[in-house]
Structure 1
Amino acid sequence: MAASTAAAASSGATPKLSIGQVLQRLGAEHPELTPSKIRFLEEQGLVHPARTEKGYRKYSDQDVQRIRVVLALQRDHYLPLKVIGEYLDAVDRGENPKVPGATSPARAKGEAAASAGLGILETGLELRRDELLQRSGASRDLLEAAHTAGLIARAMRYGEDELVLLTTLVELDGSGIQPRHLRPYRSAAQHDLGLVERAITPLKRGKDAEASARAQEKADELATALERVRSALLRQGLRDRRG
C-alpha cells in the first residue's frame, strides 16, 4: 500500500490544498504534524508542492498521500528520512522496492538525538531536564550557562528547538565559543522577530484557519530568508578576511 500511494504522488493531479487544509486532513491520523514539519519534508525533497503566483504552497491529493506515506514509515518502521527518500525515489522510477526494514525503537531514538544537531526536528517533543542533557550531550554547567545567557529559558519541559540549540552549543563549546559569547544573537533574534511580525500583520487579519496558516507559512519563510542573510554575511566576512 505504501508503494502504491507513493507512486500516485508523482501523478499530475491539480494542486489545490493549502498547508492548513493538509493539516486538517492528516491531523487526526498524525496529531504531531505541524506546518514546519510539512515544510521540512519539502526541504528534504520528499514532497514537491506547487506554488501560486504569490508564492503560496498548494498541495494535490497525491501530495497529501505522499506525506501520509512518509509519516507512516517514520512512525511504524522508525526509518530516517534519507532511507524513506531512497525508497520513494525507487517507487517514482517505477520500481517495486520492499519497504525498508524496521529499526528498533532504541536505535531510532539514538539516531534522532544524533540528527538534532543537523536540524532534523521531532515534532511534539517534550524533554525533562535530564533527558535534554542526555540527548544533547551537554553538561549541567553548559545548560546553566545557556540559561544565564538568555539562550534557553528555564522550563519544566523542553522541545525540539531547545534540543537543537543545546546540541549546537556543545559543538561550539568544543571550539571555545561559550553561551555568554552568543548574547548578541539573542538580541538579533528579537530584532528579526519584530521584522517578521510587522511583515505578516496584514496576513493575520483573517479569522479563519487558512489565514492563520498563511501567516505562519510566511513567517517561517521570512525566518529562513533572514537566516540566509546572516549566513551569507558571515561567509562574506570570512572571505574578505582571507582576501
Structure 2
Amino acid sequence: MAVPVRAYLSIGEVLSKLRNEFSDITISKIRFLESEGLIEPQRTPSGYRKFTNTDLERLRFVLLAQRDQYLPLRVIKENLDALDRGLTPASAVGGVATPRLATQDGVLTANTFPDDQDLRLTRTELISASEISEDQLSELESYGLITIRGRHYDADSLAIAKIVVAISAFGIGARHLRAFKTAADREIGLVEQVTTPIRSQKGTEAKAKADEVEREIASLSIRLHASLVRSGLHRSK
C-alpha cells in the first residue's frame, strides 16, 4: 500500500532543505522571520507549523536578499508585498516597485484582455509606472475614468493612465475623454445583456462560458470602434 505524500513540510524539513545553501540558517531564525511577518506558515490542529513549497520559496527569497543584497527586513518585507500584489520589487532601497504585465509597448492590448486583476498599485506606484502627473490623475478620478478599489489601483487603471499620458501630448485633456467613458458604459450594458442570462444558469461551466463570451464581445466591440473611427477619418479627407 502506497504511503500518501504530505503536501507540506515541517520546520525541520525546511531547515534541511535550506541548510546547504544557507549555512547560518537555524530553526530560531525561521521562527524569528515568521514573527516579523515575512513568512506565514499554517498550523496543524496540534500547533505545529506546516510549510508549503510557496513558503519555502518565500523564505529562500528572504535569505537571499539578506545575504546577497544586504537588505534590511523592512525593505525585504516591502518587496514581498510588491510580489504579492503582482509587481516587480524595487531593485534598491528607496526604489519604486514596477508592474509585471503582459503588455505591448507598455500598454495592455485590447484583443487579448489578459487577466491581471491581481495587480495592486499604490497611488505613488501608479504615478511612477504610468508617468502621469498628480493633477492628471486627480482629474481622471473626478470624471470617473480611473477608480481606486479599496486602497489600490488595478491593471486597468494603469492602462488608462498610460493611454491618457500618451494622448495628452496632442493637447487632449481628461475633460475631452468623458465621451469615451460614456461610450464604454453603453458598450458594457450591451455586453451584460448577453452575459447576465448565461451567468444565471446553473452549473460550474456557466461562469467560465460567460467570461469567455464577455472577452469575445468586448474584443469585437473595440475592433468595431477602431474601424468606425478609422472609416470616419478616411471619409473626412
- What's the TM-score once normalised by structure 1's chain length? 0.52
Give the AA of the match of 2:134: R
- Partner SS state of residue 236, structure 2: helix
Residue 178 (structure 1) shift: 0.9
Q: 1:103-149 CA deviation, whole Å, 9 max, x = no partner?
A: x9768957758843253857210000000000001110110111122
Relative contact order, higher structure (CA 8 A, sep 6+) = 1
In structure 1, what is the Cα distance between the partners aligned to 2:170 and 2:194?
37
Whether 1:144 aligns to 2:134 is no
The structure 2 residue matched to 1:116, chosen from 103, 106, 113, is 106
In structure 2, what is the Cα distance between the partners aligned to 1:217 and 1:122?
12
In structure 2, what is the Cα distance between the partners aligned to 1:205 and 1:182?
34
Matched residues, percent identical? 34
1:32-181 → structure 2 map (5 Å cutoff)? 109=98, 112=101, 115-119=105-109, 123=116, 124-155=118-149, 156-181=151-176
More helix by share: 1
Residue 237 (structure 1) shift: 0.8
Q: 1:42-99 CA deviation, whole Å, 9 max, x = no partner?
A: xxxxxxxxxxxxxxxxxxxxxxxxxxxxxxxxxxxxxxxxxxxxxxxxxxxxxxxxxx
Corresponding residue of 2:196: 201
- What's the TM-score once normalised by structure 2's chain length? 0.53
Q: 1:142-163 CA deviation, whole Å, 9 max, x = no partner?
A: 1011112210124420110000
Corresponding residue of 2:46: none
Give the AA of the match of 1:206: Q
The structure 2 residue matched to 1:214, chosen from 209, 216, 228, is 209
Larger radius of gyration: 2
Residue 210 (structure 1) shift: 1.1
Give the AA of the match of 1:179: A
* Pair 199,122 (structure 1): closer, same or farther in 2 beyond 3 Å: closer
Task: Give the conservation status (yes or no) of the 8 Å contact 2:122–2:152.
Answer: yes
* Pair 122,135 (structure 1): closer, same or farther in 2 beyond 3 Å: farther
Instruction: Identify unmatched segments of 5+ residues in structure 2.
Output: 1-87, 92-96
- Partner SS state of residue 126, structure 1: coil
* Pair 143,109 (structure 1): closer, same or farther in 2 beyond 3 Å: closer
Root-mean-square deviation over aligned CA pairs = 2.6
Give the AA of the match of 1:157: H
The total of aligned residue pairs comes to 139
* Pair 157,110 (structure 1): closer, same or farther in 2 beyond 3 Å: closer
In structure 2, what is the Cα distance between the partners aligned to 1:122 and 1:217?
12
